[in-house]
């Protein structure tokens, strides 16, 4: 057994952000053209999961926290091991365990500023669930399927 397999999974929140038109936010990772994903991030244990969701959205999308309304936590979860562990994870985590959240975006595109903090995304688009399935980085798609199905039940 690889010693990395003994490391824990990092708790993570992943957000399905829906706009007024019922479309989902997909961000194109900074420095990785064509790599599309939902906003996500590791949790800070001192904060509630809901506070982590709003913090991550503020950091990654650059909109004020009051531009987001948490609708619900999905039942879906997803665990995965890092293929190439990022520097922050070396000798600390072997991967991530994700919870998924449905969050309504109350603002307009002009309220988003991808450069407001350390840039995670270099672009974004609003997508239907079928477009999410088409554009999402293939390695992420298996983890997105269950929350997408839950989303579709809410927004049919």
Q: Where are the domains of the chain?
A: 3-154
Determine the Cα–Cα distance for residues 12 and 37; give it in Å rounded to an integer: 14
> How does the average pLDDT of the chain come out, rounded?
93
For the chain, the straight-line distance linking the first and the last C-alpha, in angstroms and rounded, comes to: 45
Answer for the pair 92, 60: CB distance below 8 angstroms, yes or no: no
CA dist list (Å): 21 to 17, 60, 108: 11, 21, 11
Determine the Cα–Cα distance for residues 58 and 114; give it in Å rounded to an integer: 10
Q: pLDDT higher for 115 or 83?
A: 115
- With 50 as the cut, is the pLDDT of residue 2 above it? no
Mean per-residue pLDDT, 34-56: 95
Fill in the DSSP letter of residue 84. S
Domain covering 3-154 in this structure, CATH number: 3.90.79.10
Whole-structure pTM value: 0.92
Determine the Cα–Cα distance for residues 7 and 3; give it in Å rounded to an integer: 8
């Amino acid at each position: 057994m690889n010693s990395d397999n003994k490391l824990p999974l990092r708790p993570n929140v992943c957000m399905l952000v829906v706009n007024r038109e019922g479309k989902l936010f997909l961000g194109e990772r900074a420095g990785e053209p064509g790599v599309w994903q939902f906003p996500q991030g590791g949790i800070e244990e001192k904060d509630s999961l809901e506070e982590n969701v709003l913090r991550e959205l503020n950091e990654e999308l650059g909109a004020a926290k009051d531009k987001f309304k948490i609708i619900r936590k999905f039942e879906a979860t997803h665990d995965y091991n890092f293929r190439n562990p990022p520097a922050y994870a070396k000798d600390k985590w072997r991967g991530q365990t994700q919870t998924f959240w449905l969050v309504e975006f109350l603002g307009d595109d002009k309220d988003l500023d991808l450069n407001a903090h350390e840039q995670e995304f270099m672009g974004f688009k609003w997508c239907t669930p079928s477009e999410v399935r088409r554009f999402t980085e293939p390695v992420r798609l298996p983890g997105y399927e269950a929350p997408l199905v839950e989303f579709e039940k809410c927004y049919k």
